Structure formats: C-alpha cells, structure tokens
Amino acid sequence: MEFRRLGKTALEVSVIGFGGIPIQKLGRKEARRLVGLALDCKINFFDTAQGYGDSEVKIGEGIEERREECLLATKSPCRSFQQALEDVDAALRRLQVKVIDLYQVHFVNDSETLDQVLGPNGSLQGLKKAKEEGKINHIGITGHNPDVLLRAIENEDFETVQMPFNIIENGPDERALLRAAKEQEVGVICMKPLAGGVITEPELSLRWILAQSVSTAIPGMIQPGEVKSNALVGRAPLPLSEKELEKLKKACHPLEENFCRRCMYCMPCPEGIPIYLIQELGDKVKVPQVRELCRDIYARQKVNVEACTECGECEEKCPYHLPIRKMLKEKHGLLTA
C-alpha cells in the first residue's frame, strides 16, 4: 500500500481509505471481519461519522485489538462550542478509544453555517479545546460546496478538507480548492471517488483520482471483494494511459448530463424538500449493496418529493441547468419501489 502525508498533520495515510457509511448494513461479526480485512490489506485510514448509523460502533469494535495500526477519522454537524465538546465525548465512547486522530466539522455547505462554525462560540473553538485536552489530535472540515471549503481552509486551524471529487465532479471550483489545499498544506480526503457508486470503472476512477493532488480516497466498502480490489489499486496507483482515460470518460459520459454535482445552490427548497440528499440517495440506490439502506434513509425523511409544487425555483438556481424536478420524480420512484 502506498502512503502519503495528510497535509500539515504529518500523519501517513494509506492512499485508499475505508469509507464507513455502508458498514452500518452489516451485522457486527461481519463488520468486524471486514475491518480486519481492511487492516490486513494495509488500509490504515478509517472514515466514519456520528450520522452514519452505528458505523462508529462497528469500526471501533473492528479495530479494538489493532488500534495502533489505524488512523481514525470521524465527524459531526457540530456548530456550537458546547455541541462540539459533547459530540467528541460521545464519539470516544462509541469508538471505545481514548483519542481520535482526526475530528471533522461535518456538512458545512454554505457561508452562514461556516460563519457559525468559525464564530467565537462556534464548534471550531470547541474542537480546539478538545484538542488541548488530548481527546482529538487534528481538526478538519467536510462539505460539498468547494467555494465554501475554499474560504474555510483559509483558517489555519483546519488541517484537512474532505470533498467530493471524481472525474465527473472535476470543475474549476474543485480544482481551485485542490490548488489552495496544496499551497496551504491542507490534507485532501476525497469522498465520493466513485460518484456515490455509479461510476462503473472503480479501478480506473481511483487511479485517476490518486494521480491528482489528494492524500487519500475513501470509497465506501461493504464486501470483502471491494476491500481487496480497492486496496490492490493502492499498492501501485499508476496514472491512466490514454486508452484507459478514454475508457473511463466513455463510462462516465452517460452520467454527466443529469448528474447532481452536490453544489447545494438549488437549496433551500420552499417546501423543505432535501433536494441534495434525494439526489444522492437516488444515485446510490442503483448500487445493490446499499439499495435498502438508501430506501430506509429516504423513508425516514419528514418531507419527500411528493411535497413538490413544481415552482421551479431549484432549476432557476442550478448552475448546471439540470432538470431537477424531473430528476427528483425519477429518484422518488427508485427510492420507493
């Protein structure tokens, strides 16, 4: 496995990390075995979150006897000083560890939220206190809006940034964020490396990503075969040949026309419809391993696509001119089938 420095943290992370969302669908014994397999394959970076069901618990159990072999990253949508302290303590209990290597402020997608995080009583101050107390070692931020993250990493307390990045989500804004992160020695954690599982050439996609300025890519994994094949890419992540690049582009071309880039500009919806979440779930539901998980999450939403009044405000705000109303109806059908 190839390892890279995670920005100014000086942590050496495997270029293929373990995305912890899907593991919540496994039983505890299966989850423990999967985490053990990942460690056997020299994957040392494990990403989870407060919001990923019981992912923290299962990853904690999986690393229980091998804590020294891994780097733990978790996160929560903490916005205030006190909430950050409480969330860190809760994560330590769920993971059953004394210290978390990287704690990230989760899902910061607009300027108002970032201002709250950075404020005098914001969650960044709470995480700095948790760091002083030895409960966490490093602080990061995650989101889906490159412009907001670009502003966020101007604050030197953020040592890592976690962003969606793949050959489809590869526009000027993403590139600007990558350049700034490199200049400021901010470690880049690449989420959605397979665009939520819809890119059908996982090896080529991961190799393409690892040829860019990222520290690690964290595909979600739920099957032993996925762990092994993804780890194999990390052993020798060779750049793509021209022929391989064309093959990857050809596989992604049908997705590009109606693919949600998760920029969040369409929100908020006047009716409270979680447009971004439905777009993502509607893409992921096509992947058999997480189909029921996606449907479960959608079923728990207080407002769904049926509340749409066809006002069209979301489409007016979309910089990619996507037919959002049509897309939402299609995804509603997939998520309720």
Mark whether 280 and 242 lie in a shared domain.
no
Q: What is the pLDDT of residues 11-39, one digit of tens each?
A: 999 999 999 999 998 999 999 999 999 99
pLDDT over threshold 90, residue 257: no
Whole-Å CA distances, 293 to 50, 277, 288, 334, 335: 16, 13, 10, 13, 10
Which pLDDT belongs to residue 260? 86
Please tell me the distance from the alpha carbon of residue 104 to that of residue 153, in angstroms, as a whole number: 12
Q: Do residues 58 and 28 touch, judged by C-beta distance below 8 A?
A: yes
- 53: domain range? 3-246
A 10 A CB-CB count for 252 gives 21
pLDDT over threshold 90, residue 321: no
Q: What is the pLDDT of residues 84-93, one digit of tens each?
A: 999 999 999 9
Mark whether 199 and 241 lie in a shared domain.
yes
Query: Residues with Cβ < 8 Å from 253, sequence gap 6 or more?
Result: none
pLDDT over threshold 90, residue 117: yes
Mark whether 109 and 237 lie in a shared domain.
yes
Please report whether residue 43 resides in a domain: yes
Please tell me the distance from the alpha carbon of residue 22 to that of residue 13, in angstroms, as a whole number: 21
Chain centroid offset of residue 6 CA: 16
Q: Residue 51: pLDDT band by 50, 70, 90 thresholds?
A: very high
Please tell me the distance from the alpha carbon of residue 77 to that of residue 107, in angstroms, as a whole number: 6
Please report whether residue 7 resides in a domain: yes
Q: What is the pLDDT of residues 212-256, one digit of tens each?
A: 989 999 999 999 999 999 999 999 899 999 999 999 999 998 887
Total domains in the chain come to 2
Please report whether residue 125 resides in a domain: yes
CATH code: domain of residue 98: 3.20.20.100
Q: Residue 197: pLDDT band by 50, 70, 90 thresholds?
A: confident
Mean pLDDT of the chain: 95
- Strand residue runs (E) in the chain: 3-5, 12-14, 18-19, 45-47, 71-76, 100-105, 136-142, 160-164, 187-191, 216-217
pLDDT over threshold 90, residue 196: no
Task: Give the DSSP per-residue string, 267-297.
Answer: -S-TT---HHHHHHHHHHTTSGGGHHHHHHH
Please tell me the distance from the alpha carbon of residue 123 to that of residue 85, in angstroms, as a whole number: 8
Please report whether residue 71 resides in a domain: yes
pLDDT over threshold 90, residue 6: yes
Mark whether 202 and 241 lie in a shared domain.
yes
Mark whether 71 and 127 lie in a shared domain.
yes
pLDDT over threshold 80, residue 131: yes
